[in-house]
Structure formats: structure tokens, C-alpha cells
């Protein structure tokens, strides 16, 4: 499926020659590098030790992303090409992927259409999770960890989107409706054969520059023909942003259910981030994050993350970050662990 989408995007990009007199092209990107001290963690069941992870010091090359885009007339084509976790073919480390690739046609501010590999407009943080320089910390809330993409906790990608904004005096309304293949299984032709399509929507309202709110909903299915496994995921979301001067509070609550072969499991996540910017350069922040997934997290299902950190922006488009993370678990035999991350993000 992604190969077909990429070909469509490339063909659309070549169409820019027809509109060469109006064409604009831009390429930007960012890189995240740093170091981390990963605390020790032990996992056991009763008197049986399953594994022990010793404390480690490591260098990080979390992300290197290239963002080419072009606009001509009412069309826009965009791609996000990502190299993550120290990608190396020689050492077989890290990952390389076409993170996003889409074509967009704008009719007006109130109606835009987009097709391709698209970050799903569910909540707010999900849509900016890849733009690391905009994040306050080195680590985002745990639901955005790479491991949770594998269990379909929340929608990461969709394939067709209509969206727009409109103003009513000082109030701004925004909407987005989307559909896609969900999480499918490739067949012999490498075509996504999943019949359980995903679909959803988000509606937002901005009362002023200080207060914005939104609600989201998403439903998706998964069919594995070889294992005769069927999954259906339903998730709801509310997001809230309060910004007063240099003080900001952002929070999102996302409850939902996973139905696997007829068995229903509860899942939910909640996080709140509070920050205060001083002199437009220094931003201390705190983060609380709650995650529950009865279907997929082993041994038990509840995790809480507490973080404190600071971001320093000495020059434009550059951020230095330090973050202390404490993860606690409601899992027998799993010790809580703490980590320290230090990094630098450069946007170019």
C-alpha cells in the first residue's frame, strides 16, 4: 500500500512542471541527538526472575528527518523521511521509513483534501509527535513511544482526510474527518488486504488565543487471515490547552476499548504537561502520564510516568533539553525505574 501511495505522490510532484511559474519548493528537517542514563530494572513473577536490565549509559541519535515540500497552484506535496535510533545498514540498527507522504488540494480555508500516508488528526499531540524540536522534552508521553504503534493503541496513520477551519468572530472552529486502511496484513502482492478500515473525526474550538478545546473519535479493525485473529479498536479523546502569558497547560484524555476475538479489553491514557517560559529562552516543565492497556501490556496493565525537565533555546531553531523520567508500574515483580535524558534538537 505504501509503495502505491509513494508512486502517486511522486507523479503528483512531477506535475509541478505544468505550473512552473507558480511553483515553490522547500526542504527542511531536524536532528535529535543526545545521551541517556537508563536505570536498572528487574522483572520477575513470584520467586522466578525473568530478566534483569542493568543501568546503562548510551549515546542517542533519536531522529534525523528530511521534510521536502512543493506548492503549485492549489496543490501541495509533502514528505517526511525519517532515520531513527542511529540507523545503520552495516550494524543493522535503527529504522528508516517514509513517515509521511501526501498530496493536498485546497479549495478554501474551510475545505482541504489530502491523500497519502497522513498523520491522523486525533487529538493534538499525535499530530506533532514527529516534530521533535517543538517538543518540550526528550521523551513525550508514553503512549507515543514506538512500541505502542505495534499494538494499535491509538491511530498513527490514515490515508484520506478532509479538513478545514472557519471563524465566527473571535471563535475559530476546526474539523477533520478521515478514513484509511487501518492496520492490515500484507498479502503475496504486498497489498494491504485489511477489510477493517479505520475512520474517525476531530472537532476543535478556539475561544481565544488562550483557550482551545477539542474532541476526537476513532474506530479501526484488523484481520489476520492466517491466524484467524480479529481485532476492533475504538478510542475517544478530549484535548485542552490553556495559555496565559508565558504559562501553558496542555492535557489529553483518551479512553477506549479493544475487542480481540470477541473479548473486550479497556484501555486509556491521560497526560498533562505544565510549562512556563522565561525570557523566551528557558522553559521548565512537568509531565504526568497515565497509561492502561488491559489487552497488550504483559504481567499487568498500568504504567505511570513522572517527568521534570527544562528546555533552553540559545538561538533560533535550536533547543537544548534535560529530562528526568520516573516510570512506575502496577505489575508484580517489575521494579520502578528512572532515566535521565539530555539532548539537543536542531531544526534546519
DSSP line for 93-158: EEEEEEEEEEEEEEEETTEEEEEEEEE--SSSHHHHTT-GGGSSSSS--GGGSGGGGTTTSS--EE
CB 104 within 8 A of CB 79: no
Q: How many CA atoms lie within 13 A of 336 on its CB side?
A: 12
pLDDT at 169: 85
Q: How confident is the model at residue 224 (pLDDT cuts 50, 70, 90)?
A: low
54: exposed, middle or buried (Cβ count in 10 Å: 0-12, 13-18, 19+): exposed
Whole-prediction pTM value?
A: 0.81
pLDDT of 152-193, one tens digit each? Answer: 788 888 999 999 999 988 899 999 999 988 665 555 555 666
C-alpha cell at 220: 479501526
Question: What percent of the chain is predicted at pLDDT more than 90?
Answer: 39
pLDDT at 299: 46
pLDDT at residue 101 greater than cutoff 90: yes
* Contacts by 181-189, CB closer than 8 A, 24 or more apart: 181/1, 182/152, 182/220, 182/221, 182/222, 183/152, 183/220, 183/222, 184/1, 184/222, 184/223, 185/222, 185/223, 185/224, 185/225, 185/226
Which domain covers residue 130, as residue numbers? Answer: 2-347
pLDDT of 7-55, one tens digit each? Answer: 445 545 554 454 455 789 999 888 888 898 887 665 544 444 445 566 6
Q: How many domains does the chain have?
A: 1
Residue 317 belongs to a domain with what CATH number? 2.40.160.10
Amino acid at each position: 500500500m505504501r509503495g502505491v501511495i509513494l508512486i502517486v505522490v511522486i507523479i503528483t510532484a512531477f506535475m509541478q512542471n505544468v505550473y512552473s511559474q507558480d511553483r515553490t519548493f522547500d526542504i527542511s528537517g531536524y536532528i535529535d541527538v543526545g545521551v541517556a542514563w537508563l536505570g536498572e530494572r528487574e522483572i520477575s513473577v513470584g520467586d522466578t526472575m525473568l530478566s534483569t536490565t542493568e543501568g546503562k549509559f548510551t549515546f542517542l541519535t533519536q531522529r534525523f528527518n528530511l521534510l521536502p515540500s512543493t506548492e503549485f497552484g492549489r496543490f501541495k506535496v509533502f514528505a517526511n523521511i525519517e532515520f531513527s535510533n542511529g540507523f545503520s545498514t552495516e550494524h543493522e540498527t535503527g529504522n528508516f521509513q517514509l513517515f509521511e507522504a501526501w498530496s493536498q488540494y485546497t479549495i478554501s480555508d474551510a475545505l482541504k483534501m489530502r491523500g497519502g500516508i497522513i498523520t491522523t488528526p486525533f487529538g493534538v499531540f499525535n499530530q506533532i509527535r514527529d516534530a521533535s524540536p517543538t517538543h518540550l522534552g526528550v521523551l513525550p508521553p508514553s503512549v507515543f513511544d514506538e512500541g505502542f504503534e505495534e499494538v494499535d493503541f491509538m491511530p498513527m496513520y490514515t490515508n484520506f482526510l478532509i479538513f478545514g477551519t472557519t471563524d465566527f468572530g473571535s471563535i475559530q472552529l476546526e474539523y477533520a474527518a478521515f478514513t484509511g486502511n487501518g492496520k492490515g496484513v500484507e498479502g503475496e502482492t504486498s497489498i494491504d488486504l485489511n477489510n477493517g478500515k479505520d475512520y474517525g473525526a476531530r472537532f476543535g474550538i478556539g475561544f481565544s488565543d488562550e483557550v482551545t478545546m477539542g474532541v476526537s473519535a476513532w474506530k479501526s479493525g484488523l484481520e489476520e487471515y492466517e491466524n484467524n485473529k480479529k481485532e476492533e479498536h475504538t478510542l475517544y479523546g478530549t484535548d485542552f490547552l490553556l495559555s496565559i502569558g508565558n504559562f501553558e497547560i496542555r492535557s489529553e484524555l483518551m479512553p477506549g476499548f479493544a475487542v480481540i476475538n470477541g473479548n473486550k479489553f479497556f484501555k486509556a491514557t491521560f497526560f498533562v504537561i505544565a510549562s512556563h517560559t522565561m525570557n523566551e529562552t528557558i522553559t521548565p516543565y512537568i509531565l504526568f502520564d497515565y497509561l492502561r492497556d488491559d489487552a497488550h501490556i504483559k504481567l499487568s496493565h498500568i504504567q505511570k510516568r513522572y517527568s521534570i525537565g527544562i528546555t533552553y533555546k540559545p538561538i533560533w531553531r535550536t533547543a537544548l533539553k534535560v529530562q528526568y523520567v520516573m516510570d512506575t508500574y502496577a505489575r508484580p515483580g517489575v521494579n520502578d525505574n528512572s532515566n535521565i535524558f539530555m539532548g539537543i534538537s536542531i531544526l534546519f
